[in-house]
Chains A and B, each alone.
Chain A
Amino acid sequence: MSTATLDAFQVIADPSRRQMLMMLSKNSMTINSLAENFAMSRPAVSKHIKILYGAGFISIKDIGRERHCVLKKDGFDELQRFINFFDNFWTARLKTLQDLLTKKAKSK
């Protein structure tokens, strides 16, 4: 089964994945120790980890025989863009409003 690459929003839309990110934000964890915190099957955990990895939210490092999940910044870039989009959006629109009102005042 192939795991489609999901975008940042689809990735964090899932509560289990959000919880995984929360846990990893405190410490990097092995896939095993991460899995212990979830009632789902080990393959289900692996699938979520693949999705997080695919969208750039985590990297996976092999240390000895263990695979460690570490939080990675790339996945957050899209969220950053989302916030920036609206900040810029309102700045542009309100500038237009200001221009409108100024023009109107002058034409009085």
Chain B
Amino acid sequence: MQKAITQTWHFDQQPEEVWDYLTKPELLEQWLMKTDFKPVKGYQFQFSFDPKPGSTYHGVVNCEVKEVLPFSKLSYTWNGSTADQQRKFNSLVVWTLIPTKNGTQLHIQHDGFVVLEDMLTHEAGWKACGQRLEQLLTTISL
């Protein structure tokens, strides 16, 4: 089974244009977060935001670029923590761009949540815990 959040979006723009929005800090800031991102493998960067008071999550996400295939694939680690910084989680974000007849299909996969991983490899066993768990598994393998 997959242990990931996956979403697929369609844009009318060409992959080159969508790619710009995934890789240029001044454009990333407009829809995602402030960042010092560079599309260079091994480059370490941060996403940051001002958490709302009482937010569950800390306002800085530490990342490292893992893969850069211009206009088609981009991945980076996504290591965040809760607001109190007590609970850290490591995960991976993978972007895939596929050109279509009239634009771009953009696919995101966010997975590898380390805290969950061990548990979710035992899918069959968890079914014993009933509907709630089944929902959890379904959500993750969307």
Contact = CB atoms under 8 A, between A and B. Distances in A.
Contact of A22 (B17, B82, B125): B125
B119 A86 contact: no
A5 to B, nearest CB: 13
Contacts of A77: 132
Interface stretch (A29-37, A39-47, A61-69, A93-101): A93-101
Contacts of B139: 80, 83-84, 87
Contacts of A94: 7, 9, 31, 106, 108
Interface string B81-101: 010001101000000000000
A83 B136 contact: yes
Interface residues of A, number: 36
Most buried by A among B18, B86, B136: B136
A7 B115 CA distance: 12
- The range of chain B's interface size is 35 or more
Given A76-B133, A83-B5, A25 B113 contact: no
Contacts of A38: none
Interface in B1-16: 5, 7, 9, 11-13
B7 A100 contact: no
Nearest to A7: B87
Contacts of B110: 86, 90
Interface in A69-108: 71-73, 76-77, 79-80, 82-87, 90-91, 93-94, 96-98, 100-102, 105
Interface in B88-142: 89, 106, 108, 110, 113, 115-116, 118-119, 122, 125-126, 128-130, 132-133, 135-136, 139-140, 142
Contact of A87 (B5, B18, B116, B126): B5
24 contacts: A10-B87, A13-B115, A21-B119, A22-B122, A25-B122, A25-B128, A71-B129, A79-B116, A79-B119, A80-B132, A80-B139, A83-B136, A84-B139, A90-B7, A93-B31, A93-B32, A94-B31, A94-B108, A96-B30, A97-B11, A97-B21, A101-B11, A101-B17, A101-B18
Interface of B: 5, 7, 9, 11-13, 17-18, 21, 30-32, 56-57, 82, 86-87, 89, 106, 108, 110, 113, 115-116, 118-119, 122, 125-126, 128-130, 132-133, 135-136, 139-140, 142
